[in-house]
Amino acid sequence: MREYSVPVLVDVPASASLPDTVFRRGEQEPGAVALRRKVGGGWAAVTASEFRDQVVALAKGLIAAGVEHGDRVALMSRTRYEWTLIDYAIWSVGAVSVPIYETSSVEQVRWILSDSGAKAAFVELDTHEETVRAAAPELRSLWRVEAALSLDGPLDGSGLDDSVVLERRTGVTSADLATVVYTSGTTGRPKGCRITHDNLLFTARNAVSGPMESIFATDEPAALLFLPLAHILARLIQVALVEAGAILAHTPNMKNVAPDLQDFRPTFLLGVPRVFEKVYNGAEQKAIAGGKGKIFARSVDVAVAWSRAESSGGAPLGLRLQRALFDRLVYGKLRAATGGRLSAAICGGSALGERLGHFFRGVGIEVFEGYGLTETSAPSTVNMPGANKIGTVGKPLPGVTVRISDDGEILVKGRHIFDGYWNNDQATSDVIDGEGWFHTGDVGELDSDGYLRITGRKKEILVTAAGKNVAPGPMEDSLRAHPLISQAMVVGDNRPFVAALITLDHEALEHWKPANGLASATLAELRTDPRILAEVQGAVDRANAMVSRPEQIKKFTILDADITEESGHLTPTLKIKRDLVMRDFAKDVDAFYDPTA
């Protein structure tokens, strides 16, 4: 199939804006719990009217501080309650939020602030303030996020009447800019994506009324956000949760995710593959350490087999009985670790892997993979309850059309497509053609039912010296699924064969080393240990089974350092900066092809 469309479910009027639902619920459902904030050891309820009133108070403070319609206001913070409050207050006055990853460098922040022309900025931590002040010493207004909840702080708008916010808010239309989101940039300077109120509302409302409808039909639907809200997917989910009337909570520290899941007890979760891989790997390592490794391994096989059977007509009685047994022994404990109410999760960013997808569905936590980019306001396609084809990224969202071009590139059309790049008309015309198709740069295929499968990225396609095209992404995703592997990068462009750079996961090693009598072993020793090499070779063999012989990895090396965001080799969305890795590990790459080695 070359093209597939799904009809629009929900239209968004030209007069609509993102804060509308906040104000409507504050008026019509004042006592409904809209969000929860971590206060002390508990999750304090924030009602719809309380949140609306806080948005109004902060909006008045912004107006008093001189923020005008269309002004850009930057926000550099971890994922926390105030982020959502600030977002909606900025939108309520017709201004434009500019998110910045809290791990960004001075140079990155300097570029974003100068390119966007930000008039003001919110920061959370001392380090954030230092970064912004170093990047833009001339910035007129710099506020701490705590000021968003302060009634007598630097954003005091108490002298203004609430009507000024109403006047500003009703002057915002769906065509107005809501946010400028800068791509994380694997090469070159990040580009600012112009995302309108319509982009986010149209996508969120059609998702909530379509693929995600049954997810929010549970008793007291609730979600815990912990991924960076600077990322478009987390931002879109934030909006979708508000539109759906689900309870939203935040966790700023990834180290607290596990206990916060148990305390907050969400019904829905947003994650990236690495999160689900770590949940699986952690459970496996705990089982092995407790002498129950064989039981866990069998439970995994049963969960996967049950899920596969369910996808092809239903599991037989014997398999259903085995699943019921392991539900008491294993699966129930995994669900309890997430609070006991979690049944659905959205996963994006990269491929989860079919086996892991089937495992979680067998456990009772169904993971729905989707696909999209910043330029498509996050999702273009997504799997859905009752129609989850594991191994694909689902069908187009309502109102979206996906086309596969003659060279295999994925093209997308719909109202979720961004308004172009900020201050960069040439870059915009490079990706949106005369017919309105957005050229994603990704390569994929549509099956006969309209499900999309990603097979690679045009710019990352390697061409070996023999002329064989190799898509590194699927093999890298397969390698990273191994518990001992943190990152993998496939190389071989203009080379005689394909090879791979591998890094080891330090957290996994802390469990593996004592279990193998190597508690004090260093990374330098482990990277040449025969048992580690055998584990990695097994992962390579599984990845090689996915491709033809000329595409297979012939050699690999384990690096003596990790590839991380801190090292500068990963973007904040955990995409590999291939040019930097090739530069910094050039000797390792050259060694693959040294005929004297």
> In whole angstroms, what is the distance from residue 174 CA to residue 558 CA?
51
- Across residues 270-283, what is the average pLDDT? 86
- Does the pLDDT at position 188 exceed 70? no
C-alpha pair distances (Å), 517 with each of 434, 486, 510, 535: 63, 22, 12, 16
- Lowest average pLDDT, out of 101-115, 306-320, 564-578, goes to 564-578
> In whole angstroms, what is the distance from residue 588 CA to residue 156 CA?
57
Confidence of residue 423 (pLDDT cuts 50, 70, 90): very high
- Does the pLDDT at position 388 exceed 80? yes
Q: What is the pTM of this model?
A: 0.85
Tell me what pLDDT residue 187 has.
Answer: 52
Q: In the structure encoding, which two tokens stand for residue 492, read together?
A: 């071989």
Tell me what pLDDT residue 445 has.
Answer: 95
Per-residue pLDDT tens digits for 2-33 = 999 999 999 999 999 999 999 999 999 999 99
Name which residue leads in pLDDT, 285 or 96: 96
Tell me what pLDDT residue 466 has.
Answer: 72
Determine if residue 526 is left, alpha or beta; phi over 0 gives left, psi from -120 to 50 gives alpha, anything else beta: alpha
- Across residues 443-469, what is the average pLDDT? 85
- Does the pLDDT at position 218 exceed 60? yes
Give the residue carrying structure tokens 């015309």: 429
Tell me what pLDDT residue 60 has.
Answer: 97
Question: What SS3 class is residue 369?
Answer: strand
Q: In the structure encoding, which two tokens stand for residue 530, read together?
A: 């025969």
Tell me what pLDDT residue 348 has.
Answer: 85
- Across residues 258-262, what is the average pLDDT? 92
Per-residue pLDDT tens digits for 76-125 = 999 999 999 999 999 999 999 999 999 888 988 999 999 999 999 999 99
The percentage of the chain sitting over the pLDDT mark of 90, rounded to a whole number, equals: 75
For the CA atoms of the chain, what is the radius of gyration?
24
Q: In the structure encoding, which two tokens stand for residue 42, read together?
A: 């508990």
- Lowest average pLDDT, out of 61-65, 195-199, 241-245, 258-262, goes to 258-262
Q: In the structure encoding, which two tokens stand for residue 553, read together?
A: 């990895």
- Does the pLDDT at position 590 exceed 80? yes
Q: What angle do CA 159, 164, 167 make, to 5 degrees?
A: 180
Per-residue pLDDT tens digits for 511-520 = 899 989 998 8
> In whole angstroms, what is the distance from residue 288 CA to residue 512 CA?
10
Confidence of residue 253 (pLDDT cuts 50, 70, 90): confident
Burial (0-12, 13-18, 19+ Cβ within 10 Å), 313: exposed
Domain 461-592, CATH homologous superfamily name and number: ANL, C-terminal domain (3.30.300.30)
**Structural contact between residues 481 and 538, judged by C-beta atoms closer than 8 angstroms:** no
Closest of 207, 178, 180 to residue 193, by C-alpha: 180
- Does the pLDDT at position 589 exceed 60? yes
- Lowest average pLDDT, out of 128-137, 185-194, 216-225, 312-321, goes to 185-194
> In whole angstroms, what is the distance from residue 120 CA to residue 493 CA?
44
**Structural contact between residues 304 and 362, judged by C-beta atoms closer than 8 angstroms:** yes
- Across residues 354-367, what is the average pLDDT? 95
Tell me what pLDDT residue 597 has.
Answer: 64
- Across residues 348-353, what is the average pLDDT? 81
Tell me what pLDDT residue 184 has.
Answer: 66
Q: What is the mean pLDDT of the chain?
A: 93
Confidence of residue 1 (pLDDT cuts 50, 70, 90): confident
As beta bridge partners, residue 36 has 45
As beta bridge partners, residue 452 has 446
